[in-house]
Amino acid sequence: MKEWYLKRQHTKAINGRKQQLSWMLRKQKELPQKIAEEIKKLLVGTEKLLNNPETTASNLKALQEKLDGAVTKTYREWKQNIVWQTFDELWLVIVLALIVKFFFLGSFRVPSGSMMDTILIGDNLFVLMNRYGLTIPFRDRQFVSWGTPDRGDIITFTEPTKDRKALVKRVIGLPGDKVFVSGTTLRINGKEATRVKKGEVSYTDSQGNAVETVQYREKNIDGKEYNVLFKKGVTDNNRLLFEQKYCRYCGIEFTVPEGHFFAMGDNRDNSYDSRFWGFIPRNFLQGTPLFVWFSIQFGDSIIDVEDFRPLRIGHIIK
């Protein structure tokens, strides 16, 4: 048992040195021909000894000491720092991963219930980042733009406030649209969105409170349909009083400026959106969510799981 353990330990150390010597051969352009030949022979001898079933732990120990000396003394001029060596091997993978993340397929975790029940609290979404243009990494706006969302599309974007949060909402008004929002009424260019009641939906919000809502199937003026929620028990008068106090774009007809969009959450009584902070500039768009890749809602901490939803994995957002 001791022999087997020692052989395993020595083999592990030897493989690490082999990796360093192999790296020298592949990457060090200034490596002299004579040194390169010596290293090749050393590696061949090492392979033979490792592959020989009769090799003992003492043989491997001697080989390890030989390789240690070769790397740290004889060839130290061409020895690479292990951190840099690892980066040198992985830099292309890292760069490609960053390109994919920022320009093609980003990830977005939803912390609130503003898009219930289309998007749930704790949904992790894959977002198509180049749907409407390209955003400079670690910046909040696009530097190249193309394409525009349609009414009813779900978008991710940078909140046009000092907080600059990444948000996800549904496009309600396009540039030039005349919009009127008040209570449960939504009117675009003089045409009112229609709704059919579907039932009731209850959920636990991000503060752990139980919320009761009524679900409707809304159809916008282009015929696109999606679910929206209104809080159960809230009267039109309650909504009117709230709007008069807090809602900047409620109870008046306004025109969406050119180069801007008006967006709202599907959970209409629980969404901080364009009704409150205004219009989304075109270059603040980020992308459009594709599907859920993971979904879990936590309570007060990450060990307090409120709801784990494996069946949400692969759910397409629309």
Distances (CA, A) of 269 to 140, 229, 233, 242, 275: 27, 8, 11, 10, 11
Helices (H), the chain: 2-27, 33-51, 57-69, 82-103, 236-246, 274-277
* Pairing mode of beta strands 210-219, 305-308: unpaired
Report the Cα 43 to chain-centroid distance in Å: 43
Q: What is the rounded distance in angstroms from the CA atom of residue 118 to the CA atom of residue 122?
A: 12
**Given 114, 182, 271, 295, the catalytic residue:** 114
Antiparallel, parallel or unpaired: β 166-173 and 194-204: unpaired
Active-site annotation holder among 79, 112, 169, 295: 169
Q: Is 114 a catalytic residue?
A: yes
- In the residue annotation, 198 being an active-site residue is answered as no
Cα angle: 66, vertex 67, 68; to 5 degrees: 90
According to DSSP, residue 287 is labeled: E
Is the distance from CB of 83 to CB of 20 less than 8 angstroms? no
Report the distance separating Cα 50 and Cα 12, nearest Å.
Answer: 11
Strands 154-158 and 166-173: antiparallel
Cis before 236? omega within 30:
no
In Å, the largest CA–CA distance within the chain is 90
Residues with catalytic roles: 114, 169
